[in-house]
Amino acid sequence: MSFRRKDCISRKLINCFLGAAGILFACLFPEMARAQIIPDLSGSLPAGDTISSKEAIALSKQRDLIDLGYLLFHKNPRSRLDNSGTKNTRLYFTVAPVVEFTIATGFSPGVAGNVAFLTSAVEKTNTSTFLGAVKYTQKNQFLLPVQSSVWTPGNKFNLQGDWRYFKYPQDTYGFGGFTQLSDKYIVDYEYLRFYESIRRKIGENLYAGLGYQLDLHWKIRELGVPPGKVTDFQKYGYSGSSASSGIALDFVFDTRENSINVKGGSFFANLHLVQNARFLGASSNYNTITLDLRGYFKMPFHTILALWSYSVFTVSGNPPYLDLTGTGTDPFNNTGRGYEQGRFIGKHMIDLEAEIRFNITRDGLLGAVVFGNAETVSELGSNRLEVISPAIGVGLRIKFNKFSGTNACLDYGVGKGGSRGFVGNLGEVF
């Protein structure tokens, strides 16, 4: 016997309400340092997929925020399962209000939405998603991100997109690891990103792909610079506009069943190469290599040790200042908890992260993590990796959706030199 989640108007209202609550939970804290542009929920919204009777029994013993919503509306959480056992390719659309607070933006109310669907009801296929948001912040910043991941039947191809428009003043501290919090000033700019790629399955859990990446910055201004100070931006090569435009090659090995809450025994590796070229409209010719490695290991007492290495190297040329790698510049802005996004930047970066994950309650509603990370970025003059910036912290996990494994996450990290702050995510950091 198999089971399927029921779809009804009352359930959708509960999910929408709790969707807003889950996002709000991770964001309504006045010391939060940064948050994801869009939560990484690829594959987390099953569109009417089936689960086994064994899984259904296990899930019935677990509790999540949606269950609490059912109880709040005097409904039985077990009604989320039935025995129809069918699978379909229907669209599932959710819209929810969001309110965030970060040091960089102040309060930023907006609307976030997602669309989830399956491209096949016959072959085993990952869930395709479109995720988007519109936000306007307390500091008059406008953010419009849209991200997509579409899987063809049988997962033969995966099409990924990342489109963004920002009117986004940003704190910057200068090059390298020797900078201090007192070095902070603001760079104001408008930003457009257009990334598209296609990956083809070439082996068991192995994909290769080709893509195009465009980053445009214009109306760039430095604000709050003390008179007479020459900034690292000016030393590096200040310009009122910049562009990165290049062809990307991707190689991916991925054994994860659920990328937002990974089980022990899973591994992920991504080698990403980008060649930016003037003939494609880039400000300069340069190329970069990104290596993303992740491992998840089962530990005693039902804990998981998660390890992450995220490294970016500029092989040749000089990226525009605003396209340099650094703290929180990974696709979902998650590296370097304990530091503000953009706290350290350079032409090269190595970021190492470790996290122990465990449950607090037997029903899985509450969990926690203990984490540590360390990163190093290259210096402006020597181009060498000279300073290591460590951070440690703890985090709370509240199960948002037990079917997808999605957690509402709130972490507090402490770095060196007085850097500290909360980080909120919907879905695990890595």
pLDDT digits (tens, 9 = 90+) for 327-363: 999 988 889 999 988 999 999 999 999 999 999 999 8
Decide if 172 is inside a domain. Answer: yes
Decide if 238 is inside a domain. Answer: yes
% of the chain exceeding 70 in pLDDT: 82
Alpha-helical segments (H) within 109-185? none
Decide if 106 is inside a domain. Answer: no
Q: Is the pLDDT reported for residue 22 higher than 70?
A: no
The token pair at 243 is: 């562009």
Q: Is the pLDDT reported for residue 4 higher than 60?
A: no
Calculate the average pLDDT of the chain: 83
Q: Is the pLDDT reported for residue 288 higher than 50?
A: yes
Decide if 419 is inside a domain. Answer: yes
% of the chain exceeding 90 in pLDDT: 51
Domain count, the chain: 1
Distance CA 314, CA 409 (A): 32
The token pair at 267 is: 């591994």
Phi-psi region at 281: left, alpha or beta (left = phi > 0; alpha = psi -120 to 50): left
Mean pLDDT of 114-127: 80
- Give the distance, in angstroms, between the CA of residue 21 and the centroid of all CA atoms in the same chain: 19
Decide if 365 is inside a domain. Answer: yes
Res 89: pLDDT: 52
Decide if 98 is inside a domain. Answer: no
Q: Is the pLDDT reported for residue 252 higher than 60?
A: yes
Please indicate whether residue 9 or residue 178 has the higher confidence score (pLDDT).
178
Taking alpha carbons only, the member of 412, 376, 367 closest to residue 392 is 412
Res 406: pLDDT: 80
Q: Give me the domain span that covers residue 316.
A: 130-426
Distance CA 419, CA 263 (A): 31
Cβ–Cβ < 8 Å for 166, 105: no
Q: Which one-letter amino acid corresponds to residue 260?
A: I
Q: What is the pLDDT of residues 126-179, one digit of tens each?
A: 778 888 889 888 878 899 999 898 989 988 899 999 999 999 888 899 999 999
User: pTM value?
Assistant: 0.84
208: domain CATH number is 2.40.160.50
Q: Is the pLDDT reported for residue 90 higher than 70?
A: no
Distance CA 321, CA 229 (A): 18
Res 266: pLDDT: 94
Distance CA 337, CA 412 (A): 8
22-26, 55-59, 92-96: lowest mean pLDDT where? 22-26
Do the bridges between strand 303-316 and strand 325-326 make them parallel or antiparallel, or are there none, so unpaired? unpaired
